[in-house]
Structure 1
């Protein structure tokens, strides 16, 4: 259940404990229909493998109509598809355009149950004003149970796209993976409610944190490299012993 066979390399990968906990948290949340959530796993900790395993386990859940893994850039779309297909050859196909994405969303083929796409293509598919009327064509999915898993969700899931997903798929469950969640102290995106503006955090969008594996955990475990810290004066010259610090740079 928590191994991945890489057929092309004749290698069996065992998931790390924090990856298992994260996958199980998502699967339990879906099986019990307990709303949304997000996974805080630091950069370099293997979020793609974690999300792949979560997606494949959902593929065998008869209550789920579709599972979409959504990335926020075209190069990540290609990279994620390559990684998914490395873990399981042929498990996801390229969505060359929005029309292809819509066709696969409406397909009953088991191979189309897990779809990797960009937030841009998904946004066009859900645009009520698009001349191809994609949103109208997707109405048969409105009452279905859909699962959306967002990579780098701190960047891609604020504003109109999130609103469109909630409107088109009211029964959908949304899960985000991020290495840098948005908290009140580092929030920059604002939303207007009545006459008041407030900052929007990752928890506002996805609800509860399902699992955390931070940079501190990863460094302690030896799974990512430590930071190298240099100290500089205001003009950029290195600090000499005994001098007061004017500016700190993390390299």
Structure 2
């Protein structure tokens, strides 16, 4: 790691380019790019490096004609909507799903799907870092600090400020990025995330992120978290911009959440990214023929984005485990509704529409498939209609049960005998396993329990990832609200006013706080 040093803006660009080279980028200045012929831009209005894009598309789509490749490039570069944010969402869908191009083969009409990236083999993609890249639009000419082009597409934008000038800070970098959105939106149409840094601090956000939602990326390898003694920019570059992680982020860890007329682009934070990937690997182990069906516990403090971590986890799990059925479990109707809404608003990432069981019969119907599906249910629906034996709803092994607030209602495996009439009753956890005998289980919680008769780890397995309140507050992912000797941690999504949350708490509407955050 680099020693702490306050770089001026030019030095910061050069050292950032060096760090990018260390993780696998070719770096050039815009002038070198033009002079060497590495880019054949007709003018400064072109923001995609067409020749580089075409070369990679031919390599990773070897079975299509050049005419289809050219049509795909036209689809990418010709914007269909006047709103940059709408075009950005469309472009992200091209990244994750590819582009379908109708064409003819002999006498048949066929559709070819063109992939923009090779997500399985990073080395088949082209990673280029360019500084001082000029963009011109509507008589506005802007010289950007650093752009990361992947396969010729301007995916990541860096805005760097002079750390030796005390009057300039990271807020100025953030404000400059907002100016770019207004003055050169054609560039930002392709942006997946943007980085603001003053050489001391470095934060990352999306097109829709307000300044408070620009977050620090604190780890390179997912194991060691780096504090203030390390360069935040170096950690961010090596931790999230290295080709393997960057492709994974583009593929699985960006979602567009629409609520009414407002669409927010969300990028996973570092704790979400690494927790999800660990949890996916643990799921592969647990569901194998030698597995114990206990995936483990994700212990992330309240307010740190646990619900979205569950969305990211489900989205990647569905692809990595070849389309399992995911049962999302809560113990209260209001929580079931809230989590179902979050998943429903994220259906693009999930690539399917979640279903919510209204009763036990509908739950059984939703589970009577061979694979696939995201099914929402409360624990209470897993109860026998009579007696103490719950019917088997499915004995498939490709079922993942994901329990929210996993420290609650997940116990009661032993019989509880009524002293008056001798009747026997079990807890919902036992009935759940009667109904899904070969499923694997993962718990998400902010407050795990460990006691002789109630242990979250005993039910679900070892801790997969721990992200406590101290880390969350330090990262700005959670705000502590102190009220009547209680600490109430909340996260603040884009556009949410903390004063509104405090008012809800004072008025005793803490469920409203939970639904908003």
After TM superposition, the structure 1 = structure 2 runs for residues 226-245 of structure 1, keeping only pairs within 5 Å, are 226-228=480-482
RMSD: 2.6
Q: Check the 8 A contact 1:64/1:146 in 2, yes or no.
A: no
Q: 1:213 to 1:69 in 2, by over 3 A?
A: same
Residue 101 of structure 1: aligned partner: 363
Helix, strand or coil at the partner of 1:218: helix
Q: How many residues align?
A: 211
| Structure 1 residue 161, shift from structure 2 partner | 2.1
Q: Check the 8 A contact 1:150/1:177 in 2, yes or no.
A: yes
Per-residue CA shift, 1:189-220, capped at 9, x if unaligned?
xxxxxxxxx33221111120000111111111
| Structure 1 residue 157, shift from structure 2 partner | 0.5
Q: Check the 8 A contact 2:328/2:402 in 1, yes or no.
A: yes
Helix, strand or coil at the partner of 1:166: helix
Indicate whether 1:23 and 2:276 are aligned. yes
Per-residue CA shift, 1:49-73, capped at 9, x if unaligned?
0111111222234556411010110
Residue 152 of structure 1: aligned partner: 405
Q: Check the 8 A contact 1:64/1:147 in 2, yes or no.
A: no
After TM superposition, the structure 1 = structure 2 runs for residues 205-220 of structure 1, keeping only pairs within 5 Å, are 205-220=459-474
Indicate whether 1:11 and 2:278 are aligned. no
- In the alignment, the residues of structure 1 paired with residue 313 and residue 397 of structure 2 have an alpha-carbon distance, to the nearest angstrom, of 19
Q: TM-score, normalised by structure 1?
A: 0.74
Residue 119 of structure 1: aligned partner: 379
Residue 79 of structure 1: aligned partner: 338
Q: 1:173 to 1:94 in 2, by over 3 A?
A: closer
- In the alignment, the residues of structure 2 paired with residue 206 and residue 222 of structure 1 have an alpha-carbon distance, to the nearest angstrom, of 29
Q: 1:209 to 1:96 in 2, by over 3 A?
A: same
Per-residue CA shift, 1:114-155, capped at 9, x if unaligned?
11111111x22xx2737xx9715x2xx214231111000111
- In the alignment, the residues of structure 1 paired with residue 470 and residue 450 of structure 2 have an alpha-carbon distance, to the nearest angstrom, of 18
Per-residue CA shift, 1:65-93, capped at 9, x if unaligned?
41101011011111111111112277212
Indicate whether 1:224 and 2:478 are aligned. yes
Unaligned runs of 5+ residues in structure 1 are 185-197, 231-248
Residue 458 of structure 2: aligned partner: 204
| Structure 1 residue 29, shift from structure 2 partner | 0.7
Q: Check the 8 A contact 2:390/2:431 in 1, yes or no.
A: no
1:165 to 432, 435, 440: 432
- In the alignment, the residues of structure 1 paired with residue 453 and residue 321 of structure 2 have an alpha-carbon distance, to the nearest angstrom, of 38
| Structure 1 residue 163, shift from structure 2 partner | 2.1
Residue 444 of structure 2: aligned partner: 177
Unaligned runs of 5+ residues in structure 2 are 1-251, 413-426, 488-517
- In the alignment, the residues of structure 1 paired with residue 434 and residue 280 of structure 2 have an alpha-carbon distance, to the nearest angstrom, of 24
Q: Check the 8 A contact 1:64/1:144 in 2, yes or no.
A: no
Q: 1:212 to 1:79 in 2, by over 3 A?
A: same
- In the alignment, the residues of structure 1 paired with residue 390 and residue 368 of structure 2 have an alpha-carbon distance, to the nearest angstrom, of 11
Residue 195 of structure 1: aligned partner: none
Say which one has the larger Rg.
2
Q: Check the 8 A contact 1:102/1:134 in 2, yes or no.
A: no
Per-residue CA shift, 1:86-116, capped at 9, x if unaligned?
1227721232222111100103574xx1111
Q: Check the 8 A contact 2:297/2:443 in 1, yes or no.
A: yes
Report which structure shows greater RCO (CA 8 Å, sep ≥6).
1
Helix, strand or coil at the partner of 1:153: coil
Q: TM-score, normalised by structure 2?
A: 0.38
Q: 1:224 to 1:7 in 2, by over 3 A?
A: closer
Runs of 4+ in 1 over 6 A off after TM superposition: none
